Amino acid sequence: MKHWSTVAPLLAAALLGAAAVLPGSGILSLICSVALVGAVLAAVHHAEVVAHRVGEPLGTLVLALAITIIETSLIVSMMLAGGEDKAVLARDTVYATVMIICNGVIGLCILVGGIRHREQTFRIEGAGPAFAALVALATLVLVLPGFTVSAPGPSYSTAQLVFAGLCSLVLWAVFAFVQTVRHRDYFLPPGGGEESHLPPPSARAAWMSLGLLLVSLVGVVGLAKVLSPSIEAAVRSAGLPDAVIGIAIALLVLLPETVAAARAARADRLQTSMNLALGSALATIGLTIPAVVAASLLFHLPVVLGLQPKDLVLLVLTFLVGTVTLGSGRTSIMQGAVQLIVFAAFLFLSLVP
């Protein structure tokens, strides 16, 4: 058990290779599911080691950036394999990711932290601008395509698509610069200074954890892709909407971030949770959309980004609630409960539209 965090990523990678050459079966799917959970826990462990070595907020950026890059690769590869049938996959996955993070992850962190510590604080100087950037990007990418007239349906024309991709990338790059260089203190815990709850690991241990973190994330996303046909078959056999597939993929890929953020909140490090959640949501749009735009232009793939009216209402509700939650820099279980109810509505109305 001492070396489980080393064995789990390697086992997940080995099973990923086995799944690529062996025919699918119920037993293999079950083993892959168990390995997926192990890889998630290992990813969280190694991300915390790296984060503790490099300090906040760069540590949370490591996990958010690594997962987003691999998630983007998963979306693009599925788009290439599915062609026109996957035209809405990027929209569904990005929308699901924003809803899961802004309502599910942040709500869970606030509730867990509030139950254990009554009230918690974070820096509004960092969370406020990050949330404003998220609102702007989500509106540009997911809302406006339904109102433009240059292309039929809730889609952008080629020029509009390129503009949206460039804006997403530029705004994310500015946020990363502000978070890690220009205003790094905005993302440190209230009171100033670094969070120090254990002695920092050695450089050698941090580099090993970084390598195992990448292996773990490849295992998580790869096994999620292996299990996605079973998920798609189950969704369709149950008569559920296709959007549920994007939600399932987002839930699987976001497991490491969710566990890490919840553990940080429980340890009274809500600032770390906020850094991880908001940074991940911004990276999801800021990196995924430019990659999807590039794939669409290179391989002539159709892309539909505009949300349906029901989803637009839920997105607006999410931003209104988020503005109140992040407006004071203090949280209690009430804010967490409200956001989790919005998250429950999102899940329920996705299953029963």
Instruction: Give the pLDDT confidence of 47-63 residue by residue, as tens digits.
Output: 778 877 776 666 667 76
pLDDT of residue 310: 93
More confident residue, 339 or 250: 339
What does pLDDT average to over the chain? 84
Which are the contacts of 331, defined by CB distance < 8 A and separation ≥ 6? 110, 113, 114, 119, 120, 121, 122, 270, 325
More confident residue, 73 or 173: 173
CA distances from 213 to 6, 20, 188, 319 (A): 10, 21, 23, 32
pLDDT of residue 42: 82
| Helix%, strand%, coil% for the chain, nearest 5 | 80, 0, 20
pLDDT of residue 193: 46
Instruction: Give the pLDDT confidence of 232-275 residue by residue, as tens digits.
Output: 777 778 777 877 877 877 887 788 778 888 988 998 889 889 98
Closest CA to 242 of 101, 86, 137: 86
Query: Across residues 312-325, what is the average pLDDT?
Result: 95
Q: Is the pLDDT of residue 119 over 80?
A: yes
Could you give the 3-state DSSP secondary structure of residue 118? coil
pLDDT of residue 1: 52
Instruction: Provide the whole-model pTM.
Output: 0.81
Residue at 274: amino acid letter:
M
Q: Is the pLDDT of residue 118 over 60?
A: yes
Query: Across residues 129-158, what is the average pLDDT?
Result: 92
For 77-91, b/e burial (b = at least 16 CB within 10 A) is ebbeeeeeebbbbbb
pLDDT of residue 194: 46
* H/E segment holding residue 263: helix 255-266
Instruction: Give the pLDDT confidence of 169-224 residue by residue, as tens digits.
Output: 999 999 988 888 888 888 887 765 444 455 677 888 888 888 888 888 788 778 87
Confidence of residue 131 (pLDDT cuts 50, 70, 90): very high
123-137, 151-165, 202-216, 330-344: which range is least confident on average?
202-216
Q: Are 80 and 300 in contact (CB under 8 A)?
A: no
51-65, 83-97, 323-337: which range is least confident on average?
51-65
Q: How far is CA 6 from the centre of its chain?
A: 24
Instruction: Give the pLDDT confidence of 264-316 residue by residue, as tens digits.
Output: 899 888 988 998 889 888 888 888 899 889 988 988 888 999 999 999 999 99
152-166, 181-195, 201-215, 317-331: which range is least confident on average?
181-195
pLDDT of residue 323: 94
pLDDT of residue 295: 86
pLDDT of residue 198: 53
Could you give the 3-state DSSP secondary structure of residue 334? helix
